[in-house]
A = this chain, B = another copy of it.
């Protein structure tokens, strides 16, 4: 099924830096095969698209959106000349499935010459993918907008390339989801995994059980009509929508309306009973409820897959309930895990009766479940490989948690076929279907969710689409930054939201100095914000601090680190690099003086005062280090000791932020104190 990829342009791209004069192909995900040709196809006002072969409303809509998007990117209002042959000719052999299938053919071929372009595909789904490639190829040149001559043959490495969006912890409105669907389509992802219920809120209208949202949400949920409209929107863009209703844990929001489902006595309210209530798998009434509920939801969501969660079942309520413990013993079970497996078996039958295939997190894996189910692994490739060996299909999400605030390169390095999975037989490997990035929503709002997802999600999309060999980090960053600009044309706000948030923090003050600070900090990583939260998270608190406005990864800090690296490797001789380093350091050294008056004035910035001072101190230390290096005499030990203490201080998280330029400044300070040449 997955043919061996031919890698053409890749090696050429590997070493290109950010702002190159040569034209380059800023494609992400990189296609399976790219062969560049001579010349380019100009994109002018007469640009037009012609469709031959299969023709349906979905394809026509896609072509219309494509033209609109190309017009937006180039600013050209197209006016095709009647009678002229189309600039881009499209030919799909077949149409698409009414409900998109896992593994449906997404391949396409795109040929561009200086006189025209041709996009062909076995299905119109492949055409959707190819149109996105064309959009990414369009670039500005010294003579106009153009697409370089190229021949691309492309198909995905994995058939399941998803993004999970949690809408329970913070409600995310449909329009925000839609623009994220557009972003996913732009990087050829094909599954939105919609995490629709969790402790903090139940987000889907149920007509059978109206108290699920009536008492289990703050009034913010999706009506069934909105959901149908949203699924159609995603389908038009080649994206499946898989619902997740996480049971039997993560279910607090079910119980204000239906306390009889819980394993403890209740009553329950949505806002903090300080409990971790879980579903009672020992009562027949629970299954009667689930029969009706799953039947309703299975009709609402046409996708063949149905995610039942199953993760992190906290057994406290089961332990505390004598009836449940008696049930465990009566049925010869050893522990709570066995009880969950029993629950899952019964649930799986309900799901199957509704013609759906059950998907769940690692914890559902149990030999009693049929091999049809799919296991989604937050634990890692080992867990995934173990499932594959037992005959289960699997998805990787370990390493793709966007909420952990990792740099793109770290996500990019995670491969579903790595480590334990690498040792599987070909048949076992074929059970690894792909993966999903996860955007858990404890710390996002509609305002900043885009910047938590994008552009990093594009590199996970590439990992799941492109040949395994595509892994050069420098090329990835170059292309990710180009795609990031394209994504803003779709209406995503991952870059444009930050100035608004900084202005909110700054009142009417000038934000130049604030931006200088925001540019070089990152949020603390992993779950450190949780640990700092001290006590339960208030999910209703504003998310308007600096940590909420900054990007998960600092581009300027990475560039600065690279510059220092270049300078060090040149034996401190690269004067251009040194000049740029000095420019940065000077800006930082002087920044606190500019920023300080503002920090004092607004309550949202007061916590950032020490960070601002540290940045200025780092700037000063770096400049002194350069002065020592320029003089060619080692800096005194006492000075070095003092600076390293300061750098240590600057490396500590403050206000849940990390100052990302501390390490390269340390490198300069240490170099300046060393004997050299």
Contacts and interface: CB of A to CB of B under 8 A. Distances in A.
B496 A499 contact: yes
A77 B445 CA distance: 10
A426 interface: no
A604 to B, nearest CB: 7
Nearest to A599: B142
A249 to B, nearest CB: 26
A321 interface: no
Interface stretch (A7-15, A50-58, A504-512): A504-512
A409 interface: no
Interface string A479-508: 001100100110000011001110111111
Contacts of A445: 75, 77
A603 interface: yes
A500 B504 contact: no
A506 B21 CA distance: 11
Contacts of A139: 507-508
A431 to B, nearest CB: 39
A598 interface: yes
Contacts of A508: 18-19, 26, 139, 478, 481-482, 485
Given A75-B543, A500-B489, A602 B140 contact: yes
Q: How many copies does the complex hold?
A: 2
A331 interface: no
A143 interface: yes
A335 interface: no
A69 interface: no
A2 interface: no
Interface residues of A, number: 50
Contacts of A542: 45, 74-77
A42 to B, nearest CB: 11
Nearest to A510: B19
A540 B604 CA distance: 47
A505 to B, nearest CB: 7
B21 A504 contact: no
Contacts of A478: 508
A601 interface: yes
B21 A597 contact: yes
Given A18-B510, A19-B510, A74 B504 contact: yes
Interface in A566-617: 597-598, 600-604, 606
A21 B74 CA distance: 43
B144 A603 contact: yes
A45 B540 contact: yes
Given A75-B542, A489-B500, A542-B75, A140 B21 contact: no
A283 B485 CA distance: 57
A362 to B, nearest CB: 33
A594 to B, nearest CB: 10
A507 B77 contact: no
Contacts of A500: 488-489
A452 to B, nearest CB: 16
Contacts of A597: 19, 21
A265 B544 CA distance: 66
A140 B507 CA distance: 6
Given A496-B499, A540-B77, A542-B76, A142 B603 contact: yes
A677 interface: no
A64 interface: no
Contacts of A600: 21, 142
A73 interface: yes
A488 B501 CA distance: 11
B21 A142 contact: no
Interface string A623-639: 00000000000000000
Contacts of A603: 140-144
Contact of A604 (B140, B509, B601): B140
A485 B495 CA distance: 17
Contacts of A141: 601-603
A447 interface: yes
Interface string A526-543: 000000000000001011
Contacts of A496: 496, 499
A504 B75 contact: yes
A43 to B, nearest CB: 11
18 contacts: A18-B508, A18-B510, A19-B510, A19-B597, A19-B598, A45-B540, A45-B542, A73-B504, A77-B542, A139-B508, A140-B506, A140-B601, A140-B602, A140-B604, A142-B601, A142-B602, A144-B603, A488-B500
Counting from the closest, the 7 A-B pairs by CB-CB distance are A75-B544, A140-B507, A482-B508, A140-B602, A19-B509, A75-B542, A76-B542
Given A21-B600, A75-B445, A478-B508, 11 more contacts: A18-B510, A21-B597, A21-B601, A45-B542, A139-B507, A140-B505, A140-B507, A140-B604, A141-B603, A142-B606, A144-B603
